[in-house]
Structures are given as C-alpha cells and as structure tokens.
Amino acid sequence: MLDKRIDLLKEEVFEANMELVKQGLVIYTWGNVSAIDRESGLVVIKPSGVSYEEMSAGDMVVLDLDGNIVQGTKRPSSDTKTHLVLYKAFDTIQSVVHTHSEWATCWAQAGTGIPCYGTTHADYFYGQVICTRELTDIEIEQDYEYNTGLVMIETLQQNNLNPLELPGMLVSNHGPFSWGTTPKDAVHNAKVLDEVAKMAYRTEIISNRIKPIKETLLNKHYLRKHGKNAYYGQ
C-alpha cells in the first residue's frame, strides 16, 4: 500500500513540476515542487539540476524528513532542506513549490511585500504577501537552505499567520515559495502569487496614491472562499 501511495505521489509531483513550465513560472532548471505523505513521513521532490525536458516521474527522489534518500538514483533539489523545514513546522502543508517567477521575484529582490490592492489578491491571500527579512551572513554561510526555511517560519509566527491563509511568501533577495494541500494546489497558488505581483506593480505605476483594500472587502472576498462559512463554488 505504501509503495503504491508513493508511486502515485511521485507522479503527482512530476506533473506539478511540469505544470510550472506550462504556466511560465520556470525556465531551464529553475524551481521545484515537493509533496509529503504524512502517514509515512516520506517526501517526494524534484531532482537537482535536471531539465524539465528530460525529467520523468521515475526521476523524483523520495526522502525521509531528515533528508535521507529512501528511493531514487539522483540527488534531490538543492532546496530540499527548505522544504523539509516547512513540512516539520506546519502539518497542514502537504506540498511546497519554489520558483524564480518573474513578477514575484522582482518584489523579493526589492525586499518588499506585495500589498493587497484588490479582490483578486484577496480571494487567495488573506492580506499582504509578506517578504522575509534578509538572512544574516552567518545564516547564509552556515546551512543556507535550512535557514531559508527558518526565516519563513519566523516571519509567519511573528505575524501570527496561518500558512494556509497566506499560502505563499517572498524570501528577501531570493524569490517566492508557495504551498498547498496538494501539489496541484501549491502550483496554483504559485501562479496566482505571480499574477498578483504583476497586478500590484502595475497598480502602483497607475497611481502612487493607491491604498490597500479595505478590511471589510478583504474579509468578504477571502472568507467567502475559505473557512467554515465559505459559499463560493459548488
């Protein structure tokens, strides 16, 4: 039963990685998707530096939460430790995506969060998409990928945020990470994150007097799609 679940998860993770290409969120070998089987604690992730054109579901690497390879002949993504830290910290996260998508990365490089200016943003993110602080020299030099995960956890905790209410974040000077309840959901959130980043940039070009969306409208749009009283969809 476990082998069958992991095989299915490898296929899901592979398809999610390929969806990054279809959605224009990655080029070359940039970006990665992972997912976790919570029952076994095993994680499936894209191999490091393998082009999307050459990749197959069989190339996905299976790891335990300590990063030990359980299945696979290739090295896992260089961002593996970041993914594992997030899975350990938040049991509601089932899949993690990292890209260097064009619009969201611009905001990350500026070290600036993406304000919520409208209802498109509010449908997915319960307020500003936050950007982390810069990593210190020591954090960069000593276990960089692990500390990248820690700074995201720190940012969520300091702002008292539920990761499923803010299913994406910017790492300062680096790029966006997103997550979700399935690989498909996490990629969906990554695409929306890049789109709202583009919309916010263009909104600020149109008007330098724009203010974030009113809290009443933010609540209406987010909560009609999420939470116990949601009524959007079938």
* Residues noted as catalytic: 123, 232
Distance (Å, whole) CA 175 – CA 109: 7
Query: Closest by alpha carbon to 176, among 92, 84, 79?
Result: 79
Residue 61: strand pairing partners: 45
163 φ/ψ sector (left φ>0, alpha ψ -120 to 50, else beta): alpha
Helix ranges, the chain (H)? 2-22, 80-89, 102-109, 119-122, 137-141, 144-158, 183-206, 215-223
By the 8 A CB rule, do 119 and 183 touch?
A: no
Pairing label, strands 175-180, 61-63: unpaired
Residues counted in the chain: 234
CA atoms in the 13 A half-sphere facing the CB of 48: 9
Angle at 197 between CA 107 and CA 219, to 5 degrees: 120
Query: Closest by alpha carbon to 197, among 170, 162, 224?
Result: 170
Pairing label, strands 95-98, 61-63: unpaired
